[in-house]
Amino acid sequence: MVRPGALAGELHVDNRLAAALHAEGRGGLRYRREVFRALPALARDLETRPEYRAIEMIGGSSLFWQEATAAGFEHRRLPAFTQWWLVRWERFLLARYHPAGRRRLAEGRRTEIRQVWMTRRTLLERYGKDRSQ
């Protein structure tokens, strides 16, 4: 739970890096591994960087919202127009950056994008330096 007006850090994926993970096949598994590898680094930054002290949650929009729950994210539905627009934007990015280009669009039919969020507290408990092993 976070208070209304809390400062949020928005997560973005480097499209070229994501595409490179798919270049040799089995990209989904490699992508997931990289996301899980990045979360401890993000937790470390939230713990140590003064400019991140006020951030109370992190998140963004994702077609992979179901998979994000395994990392500790919660998800929320988006308004209908926002949903429609972001799905088209994500599919455009997929066609633009994926090694298979537009052919990749025919393979998957993810049509629902949601916001995924994790509180600072959850991130630090799961991925911070003082987490229990």
The answer to whether residue 2 is domain-embedded is: no
- Asked whether the CA dihedral 37, 67, 65, 32 is positive or negative, the reply is positive
Total structural domains within the chain: 1
pLDDT bin (cut points 50, 70, 90) of residue 54 is very high
Within a domain: 59: yes
Range(s) of the domain holding residue 86: 7-127
> Which pLDDT score is estimated for 106?
66
Distance CA 12, CA 8 (A): 13
Q: What is the pLDDT of residue 22?
A: 65
Query: Is residue 132 domain-resident?
Result: no
**Cβ-contact 96, 40 below 8 angstroms:** no
User: Is residue 96 assigned to a domain?
Assistant: yes
Give pLDDT, residue 2.
78
26 lies in some domain = yes
* pLDDT of 24 higher than 70: no
Please report whether residue 30 resides in a domain: yes
Q: Is the pLDDT of residue 26 over 70?
A: no
pLDDT greater than 70 at residue 74: yes
Q: Evaluate whether residue 133 is within a structural domain.
A: no
Reported as a single tens digit per residue, the pLDDT across 75-125 is: 999 999 998 888 888 778 777 777 777 766 666 666 678 899 999 999 999
